[in-house]
Amino acid sequence: MSPAAAEAFDALLARVRPEVDRRLERVWAAELRRARRHDRGVVPMVRAARDLTLRGGKRFRAAMVVAAYAGARPRAPLEPALQAGVAVELLQSYLLIQDDWMDGDDTRRGGPSVHAALERTLGRRAVRARKGGRRLADPAHVGAACAVLASDMTWGLAVETLASIDAPASRVLAAIRALCRMHDDVVIGQQMDVLGHAGDIETMHALKTGSYTVRGPLLLGATIAGSSQRVLAALARYATPLGVAFQLRDDLLGAFGSTAQTGKPEGGDLREAKRTAVLVEAERRLDARGRRVLGRVLGRDDAEPAALAAAREVLEACGARGAVEARLSTLCGRAERLATRLPLSRGARAELAGAAAALRPRRGRAERGNPRQGAR
């Protein structure tokens, strides 16, 4: 990738993030004002979802929306694309809230996940109350129930934000449909992941992650711009390898990344025994000893740091990490080449080529804490 493409992608993120963050702050400020008119238990729920949304995140998805929109309509005002980017980031928060609860993760983006935060506030308050002479559910149950409601509220905000953009009604309707398709794809992919039924892990990645990380945001931006089916099809082709690459990058970080990079405890995917691409490769390669070493960590929240280090070593030694990194590099290279042929403006082609190259594995830099690979 040329230095110009790398700079274009970095500049895109630098432009989009503060603009989207300001708009997200306004959305949540309005929702908090509304919440204060109701029961005192509503405000902590809204605040927890707001805090997660505003705490970190590169706004990669919003940048994809803006790149596609501006690439199709270089001279058009960016406000519709920025608002659509806000909707996608709210969708991301909704999904993270539920994902953290499903996985039992108490940390996200360097702070408490929403169900953990609400367990400490509303959960502990609720068990001290009495209803019909009986104690309410335990704090963890209350926290989880309130988190589910917080995620539902956040999804509603995403749809409302997208429905309110200043664009022709036909484009807004098509954009809402695109957002709903993103949502449905993620649900299908998540169901496959929860049950461990994914025979082809890359198909699951394309549904669970690629749909709302790359393909969906790009198609959303192009749809709002009024792009032709030819443009939409070209963007979908580019997004296919990049969406899988994004999840493979996350799989590597989940096994080998630091807390500074992920915003979660080290080795979280291993401790949770998530069926990631790294573990799929390991299953094909590990000998009996390696399986025993890895088994001391898989599914064990209390695994010692030494056991985690040993598990990482066997994943390296058997070639599982190298195989995933090689596949990630291949997918990024394919996306870079497709980006150069997109029927978009020259600047957008450079930005999207830079987005693909930024996901390439760079072992030395990643282990020092690549700023492009921070918490989602």
In angstroms, the Cα distances linking 131 to 7, 40, 140 are: 59, 17, 18
What is the model's pLDDT at position 323? 95
- Give CA–CA dist 72/80, Å, rounded: 13
pLDDT band for 191, please (50, 70, 90 cuts).
confident
Burial class of residue 230, CB neighbours in 10 A (0-12, 13-18, 19+): exposed
Angle formed at CA 354 by CA 353 and CA 359, multiple of 5 degrees: 105
pLDDT band for 2, please (50, 70, 90 cuts).
low
> Rounded mean pLDDT of 8-28?
95
Mode of pairing for the β-strands spanning 130-131 and 134-135: antiparallel
Name the packing angle between helices 346-358 and 60-72 (round to 10°): 160
Higher pLDDT: 175 or 104? It is 175
pLDDT band for 197, please (50, 70, 90 cuts).
low
Q: Map residue 163 onto helix, strand or coil.
A: helix
pLDDT tens sequence across 291-307: 999 999 998 888 888 99
* Entry pTM: 0.87
Tell me the percentage of the chain whose pLDDT exceeds 90: 63
What is the model's pLDDT at position 210? 80
Phi, psi angle pair for 192, to nearest 5° = -65, -40
Residue 259 has pLDDT above 80, yes or no: no
Report the b/e string of 148-172 with b at 16+ CB within 10 A.
bebbebbbebbbebbeebebeeebb
CATH of the domain at 279: 1.10.600.10
Range of the domain at 122: 3-373
> Rounded mean pLDDT of 180-198?
84
Which residue has 């589910």 as its token pair? Answer: 148
Domain count, the chain: 1
Residue 5 has pLDDT above 50, yes or no: yes
Higher pLDDT: 56 or 85? It is 85
Q: How far is CA 365 from the centre of its chain?
A: 22
